[in-house]
Amino acid sequence: MLLLFALLAGAGAAAFLLFKFATADGDFTLLSCGRARRDKVDGKVVWITGASRGIGEVLSMQFASLGAKLILSARNKEELERVKRNIISKHPDSKVEVLPMDLSSDEESLKEVVHSAESLFSSAGIDYMMHNAAFERPEKGGPGRN
Ligand SMILES: NC(=O)c1ccc[n+]([C@@H]2O[C@H](COP(=O)([O-])OP(=O)(O)OC[C@H]3O[C@@H](n4cnc5c(N)ncnc54)[C@H](OP(=O)(O)O)[C@@H]3O)[C@@H](O)[C@H]2O)c1
């Protein structure tokens, strides 16, 4: 009887660990981080590049739900405004700024964008940067490439 109980407990623990592993996308590092904590993010300025769609859009919504002040960047301003509207409709107290940028632009332009980002939210600077944008290079052999 005791053996049966031990076997059932072991199987239950194994099933629980398997479930946790699967819901962390099979990522041990992610698993060890635990749940996202609001106290780490609430009121912090988070700059997310590639925020106009895909993973960046989902990240933006997640950070807004944890109380972050957001700077959303990508090239397409209209799409960034759509993401901003969506966030505010779900989290009306959110503070969200849209800062269009093109990662493939020259160094001076990028420096200007960085200065703009730092001066948003009463020059509070940037607490976290989620550099998620995909920089699409031309095809090999395409214009400007060998
Ligand atoms: N999805 C996956 O399975 C996967 C797997 C491995 C790695 N990743 C990486 O994870 C990141 C996000 O993936 P995703 O699937 O969410 O990509 P996605 O849907 O294609 O989104 C890419 C984002 O990057 C922005 N972007 C592209 N070129 C840019 C540029 N030159 N300057 C500024 N922003 C630019 C896009 O907006 P605009 O077009 O408006 O600029 C968009 O917001 C990417 O870096 C990708 O390489 C994704």
Distance from the alpha carbon of residue 57 to the mean position of ligand 1, in angstroms: 10
Q: Is the CB of 136 under 6 A from ligand 1?
A: yes
| Overall pTM surpassing 0.85 (yes/no) | no
Q: Is the CB of 134 under 6 A from ligand 1?
A: yes
Q: Which residue has the higher pLDDT, 96 or 122?
A: 96
Within-domain flag for 146: no
The overall average pLDDT reported for the chain is: 89
Q: Is the CB of 74 under 6 A from ligand 1?
A: yes
With beta carbons less than 8 A apart as the criterion, state whether 113 and 90 touch: no
Q: What is the pLDDT of residues 51-85, one digit of tens each?
A: 999 999 999 999 999 999 999 999 999 999 999 99
Instruction: At 4, list the tokens.
Output: 């049966």
- Residue 10's contacts (CB-CB under 8 Å, 6 or more residues apart) are none
Q: Residue 67: which domain range?
A: 38-131
Helices within 47-106 (DSSP H only) = 54-65, 77-90
pLDDT of residue 37: 80
Same domain, 60 and 19: no
Q: What is the pLDDT of residues 29-41, one digit of tens each?
A: 777 777 778 888 9
Looking up residue 121, the CATH number of its domain turns out to be: 3.40.50.720
Same domain, 54 and 102: yes
Distance from the alpha carbon of residue 42 to the mean position of ligand 1, in angstroms: 25
Alpha-carbon span 33 to 36, nearest angstrom: 8
Burial 90-125 (b: 16+ CB within 10 A, else e): ebeebbbbbbbbebeeeeeeeeebeeebeebbeeee
- Confidence class of residue 20 from pLDDT cuts 50, 70 and 90? confident
pLDDT of residue 43: 94
Atom from ligand 1 closest to the CA of residue 103 = 32
Same domain, 20 and 42: no
Within-domain flag for 137: no
Same domain, 47 and 12: no
**Domain total in the chain:** 2
Same domain, 26 and 44: no
77-90 and 54-65 are packed helices; what angle lies between their axes, rounded to 10 degrees? 30
Same domain, 44 and 85: yes
Same domain, 70 and 127: yes
Same domain, 19 and 47: no
